[in-house]
A and B are shown apart, each in its own frame.
Chain A
């Protein structure tokens, strides 16, 4: 299988006066055509930084200090800003959390869609408008002709997020980075957006990197999931297996901490403490101070990712010795 997106040993650091703060360290992942890779973690885990790095939108003091990002086999992390700008939108689409700030309040939905289409494709204004109408229909906006001439403030939150998705799809990108696309929405609207993302990946073959803090959204949407902790991937593999039988103690803790319907008030498992700050990431495995199963080497050596049961886990409990 050739991956559409491949990230190899990515490291992103923020340069500060007191030296670099590493926000993302040694992240490697692949996304295939039509596949949805979920990326889950708590605030500060490095999920948005990873998404921003792939989009080439990192701003100083943040920069990629190691690793490579490949889109359809060619490197995109070392492109000139102008080349990257053309690539963005054309081959990589982006959907952000807040649909209101992602849209320009002074232009109608139609104007914004048509402008985006014309930027990326040499088509006539009439054809662009037709494409805009078709896109709005595809993302599930009722009466698209009417919506085309409306302004963002005239639309509800869910409708706005659909427009943002339509905008991201204008140039038929191969890859879509969706950073918390449902977090600002109500559950009933969230369910609709989840369905939409799944349908797009299925019918258009678009690869999706879905970044969210909500394991429930991942479980419903993604094919595979990467669990991030303090800038590193703790565990990556098929969603079903990671949800039902997590191997990394952090994933186990995370799953236990999520209140579930039907659990009838059984006490929530809690992971004591909180994610470390970037300037105080513990040596060895960053999770060791909160881990209940830590071993002697956990506070000294960073565990390497090893393949176990079709997934990769970075934990000394699942190292070479215990693989037997």
Chain B
């Protein structure tokens, strides 16, 4: 049992119907249009570890996050949690699995109900998932949770607007931890925060992982943040994972041309004054994704094969899986 990953994606794909409304479609003779948000995604997250997904806007990383907690059903493939396929619907089995996972969102201003006191916000998962708990036990639990994230128990009586962005994100974390989940999906949890506050939240998340043995799926566009939190890393481009493996290996020696480009584009504090290699082109729309390898129009090494044949992800020996015709062949 020990080597069953807590979360496993096996060739998971998810499509969205982005067609025009029916009448418009009939009148203008438009076909149905499908957007492939995620395709052929395979990865595993081991217990107590952090897998980070990075990529630019529209690459499908948030869709993977939602698939991981069962908010979306996969169109293809299987999502397994603790060895079992993710149940769907609202049955008892689904509730039992959902209790073990939680989500933290990007915007701490939008994800907390402004009319609720912190006490109600943090206790809500307890009310839903543990209805038998007494009020005094619940209040004690809320106080303990607030202490755990670096807030004071007295903060339970305040409203969200009385807190700064960083403190609100701590409240979100306290709420996520209230049902004692094993697995957390964190979707850009620090992107809306100032750097000094981001450091506080990232440190807190790492401490909580060490203390509670949490497993994270961490979604971010910031490679430096990812290096700080992640054990493993998945790089996404237009719905596909182009490179998956140990974070340090990938960041030290990126194999996929897109990963290299992404790393080169990060403003580097140490190289003040020196110039960088410019990055060409922009991400195409996922609705008309390029044929073959979706990255080929921007890739400096693209060959004829890349234009026609979609590369299959294959292991390259150092624990990494890379989807590129030129790597490992």
Contacts and interface: CB of A to CB of B under 8 A. Distances in A.
B278 interface: yes
A212 to B, nearest CB: 10
B56 interface: yes
Contacts of A220: 267-268, 271-272, 276
B56 A219 contact: no
Contacts, number: 132
B269 A258 contact: yes
A190 B269 contact: no
A261 B263 contact: yes
Interface string A234-277: 00000110011000000001111111111111011111101100
B282 A158 contact: yes
A268 B278 contact: no
B23 interface: no
Nearest to A240: B272
Interface residues of B, number: 44
Contact of B194 (A43, A158, A194, A265): A43
Interface string A195-217: 10000000000000000011111
Nearest to A213: B194
Interface in A155-194: 156-159, 186-192, 194
A42 interface: yes
B195 A190 contact: no
Contacts of A244: 272
Contact of B265 (A42, A190, A254): A190
Contact of A216 (B196, B261, B268): B268
Contacts of B227: 259, 261-265
Given A156-B282, A159-B282, A243-B272, A261 B251 contact: yes
B223 A239 contact: no
Interface in B267-314: 267-273, 276, 278-279, 282-283
B283 A268 contact: no
Contacts of B199: 256-259, 268-271
B231 to A, nearest CB: 9
Contacts of B106: none
Contact of B273 (A213, A240, A254): A240
A265 B282 contact: no
A188 B260 CA distance: 11
Contacts of A239: 272-273
B268 A261 contact: yes
B268 A195 contact: no
B251 A262 contact: yes
B267 A271 contact: no
Contact of A42 (B195, B248, B268, B282): B195
B266 A216 contact: yes
Contact of B56 (A187, A213, A260, A274): A187
Interface in A101-156: 156
Given A188-B261, A243-B269, A270 B224 contact: no
Contacts of A274: 164-167, 194, 196-197
A191 B279 contact: yes
B84 interface: no
Interface in B214-229: 221-225, 227-228
Which of B228, B251, B269 has the most A CB atoms < 10 Å from its CB? B269
Given A156-B282, A244-B272, A261-B223, A42 B267 contact: no
Residue with the greatest number of chain B CB neighbours at <10 A, chosen from A157, A188, A240: A188
Residue with the greatest number of chain A CB neighbours at <10 A, chosen from B57, B195, B262, B268: B195
B88 interface: no
B270 A257 contact: no
Contacts of B279: 188, 191-192
B290 to A, nearest CB: 15
Contacts of A271: 196, 199
22 contacts: A43-B165, A186-B57, A188-B262, A191-B265, A215-B195, A216-B266, A219-B267, A219-B268, A220-B267, A244-B272, A253-B196, A254-B196, A256-B199, A257-B195, A257-B199, A258-B224, A259-B202, A261-B268, A267-B206, A268-B199, A270-B199, A272-B200
Interface of A: 42-43, 156-159, 186-192, 194-195, 213-217, 219-220, 239-240, 243-244, 253-265, 267-272, 274-275
Given A240-B272, A259-B224, A259-B225, 15 more contacts: A156-B283, A157-B57, A158-B282, A216-B266, A219-B271, A220-B267, A254-B195, A254-B196, A258-B224, A260-B269, A261-B263, A262-B227, A263-B227, A268-B199, A270-B196
Those 9 A-B pairs whose CB atoms lie nearest each other, nearest first? A216-B267, A257-B199, A42-B194, A186-B56, A259-B224, A268-B199, A191-B265, A270-B199, A259-B228
